[in-house]
Each structure stands twice: as C-alpha cells, then as structure tokens.
Amino acid sequence: MNRRNFIKSTTLAAATINLPFTGFTQDTSLKRKFKLCLSPGNIGVSLDQKGALQAAIDYGYEAIVSFPNEIQNWSDDEVASFKKEMKSNKIEWGSGGLPVEFRKDEQTFKDGLSKLAKAAEALQKVGASKMNTWIMPTHPTLSYSENMKQHASRLGECAKILADYDVKLGLEYVGPKTLMARDRYPFIHTLAECLTLIENTKQPNVGIQLDTFHWFCGEDTVADLLSLKPEQIITVDLNDARSDLSRDEQLDGTRELAGATGVIDITAFLKALMEIGYDGTVRSEPFNKKLNDMDDKKAMELDMQSLQAVLKNCGVK
C-alpha cells in the first residue's frame, strides 16, 4: 500500500531538485557501516527484482530492496542464480514492504495475514531478512489508545509469522503536522511514540524504520538517535524538506532528495547513525514529482549523486 495513494493528497507542488551542498568539516573518526540501497519506486523508477539488481550493479548501489510478492514465484534455479549474482557483485538486501493491509477492517487484515508466510518464506530463500511498513498518524473512528491496541495486536501477529522465517519488521512513524488534522483522532507521529508501539507488540523482531523527513517534522533530535541501539533500526529513508515551507507546513507527499535544500540536517542525522554503529541500509524516499517524471537512467544517476554528496558532507565515502 503506497502512502501517497492512501492519503490521496489533492495538491502536489512542483519541487525543484538541486545538487546537494558540500563543505562540512570532515570527521575522520567516523566510519560508515551502512549500505546505500536502491529502492526504485521511491525515485519513480520502474524495475522488477532482477532489473533492480542490474541497476544496482550499473549505478553503484550496495543493496536493493526486496519484492517478496515477485520472489515467491521464482523457481529454485532462479533463486540460486540470483543469489550468486548478488554475491559476486557484493550487493546486499535492503528491506521490502510488508504485504499486509492492517489499517482497514478485520477481514481485510486477515486476508493479507494469511498470505504473509509465503512472502516471508520467499525472503528467507534468497537471504533477505527485513520488511517494513508505515503507520498512519490519525484515525477516523479509533481513539489513541484504541488505535494503539489495534496496531500492536495486528502488527504483533505479523511479526510472529515473520519470526518463523527470521525476518524483522520495521515500523515508520509519519511526522508532518499537516496530516494531524486529516481525521478525528491523532495517533503516533514521533520516535518516542513509535518505540512505545514497538514495545506493545511484544515481539523482539520489531524495530524502527527511520526517515529523515519524519524525524524532522516530528521534532526529534540527534540525542534521540544516539539513544538507539543499532539493532533497533531496520532500515533508513533519506530525503530533505521543502525550503518554501516551515516545519509545521511540510507536506508528506512532496519532498526533495537528501541534501537538496539543507532544511534537514542530514549530516547530523547520518553522523549519529555512524556513531551508534548502524550497519543496515539507507535509501532515498523523496516523493518528488520532478524526479518521478525523469528518465529512469537520469533519476538513478541523480539519486546516487545525492547519496554520495551527503556522505561527503559527513567526511566518508
């Protein structure tokens, strides 16, 4: 389920893409353990799983997101060949989307849950071990406590199934204040609240999907990041905020590539991840119309340029 479609925003401003700025003092004491991950759909590129691997090789990515619904249809020979190609090119697995709609009615949830084991088994076969999903920060009928109970229960059920296949689940809180008036009841939109939800699932394989945009909009801090253990973080999304809007005016569906505007302190964010020793994957998620409309080749080139530039700002490669 794509959040942009779920929210059904009626406005989408044309955003400007600039090359990320550079010039921060280099810190040679920091080491990068995390990998740069290609998530094609996040930058408007249409690729299947095999195409994503080839693009990662061609454009210098170090990891790719998984498409479990596609992988589960592969033959044993296809699985073996794909794993060999990944290994020979030193490409790792990022996180794939959770294929369960848990935000709607009970029957819809149960229908999706019944298919989760097959998807998780597919990931296990190819050596992938992470899925992620996002949490809507409002609800039309459930109060905060009722919504917390439902999310904890349903996501906990998902996590139990994933655990049988050694798959972890990352939960992403959504921070823009412009979404908080969407429905009658507000829900989680900060890191602290997300940690509470994770605790309430009572499942050890549930962690955080961090996103610079939501970290910024939720008014979270570097200190909040430094308080985390690296194993609590399942995956990380990088993007920048629009310079023509204040923090409280930011819109979830319109962002920029990481470092494009400098509104979000990407350098401080990434340095915090390096300081705690995060060794997972980071990927772009700009929700940017101009980028989405580009030729696939140009979009991936620009994405990699932005990722390399924000690393340079941190003093690492």
**CATH code 3.20.20.150 for 28-313:** yes
Given a contact cutoff of 8 angstroms between Cβ atoms, the answer to whether 214 and 179 are in contact is no
Q: How far apart are CA 211 and CA 291, in angstroms?
A: 19
Residues 98-112, mean pLDDT to the nearest whole number: 98
> Which pLDDT belongs to residue 171?
98
- Provide the residue ranges of all domains of the chain, joining segments of one domain with +: 28-313
Per residue in 137-183, pLDDT (tens digit) is 999 999 999 999 999 999 999 999 999 999 999 999 999 999 998 99
Q: What share of the chain is helix, strand, coil (3-state, %, to 5)?
A: 45, 15, 40
pLDDT band for 82, please (50, 70, 90 cuts).
very high
d(Cα 100, Cα 300) in Å, to the nearest integer? 28
What the block records as the tokens of 129 is 């071990």
pLDDT score recorded for residue 278: 98
In the predicted model, is pLDDT for residue 115 greater than 90? yes
Cα R_g (the chain), whole angstroms:
19
Q: What global pTM score does this model have?
A: 0.92
| Digit-coded pLDDT (tens) for 206-262 | 999 999 999 999 999 999 999 999 999 999 999 999 999 999 999 999 999 999 999
Report residue 241 as tokens.
Answer: 């905020």
* DSSP string for residues in 44-92: T----HHHHHHHHHHHT-SEE---HHHHTT--HHHHHHHHHHHHHTT-E
Given a cut of 50, whether residue 29 has pLDDT beyond it is yes
Average pLDDT, the chain: 93
pLDDT band at 5 (very low <50, low <70, confident <90, very high): low
C-alpha dist (Å) from residue 273 to 21, 135, 276: 20, 22, 5
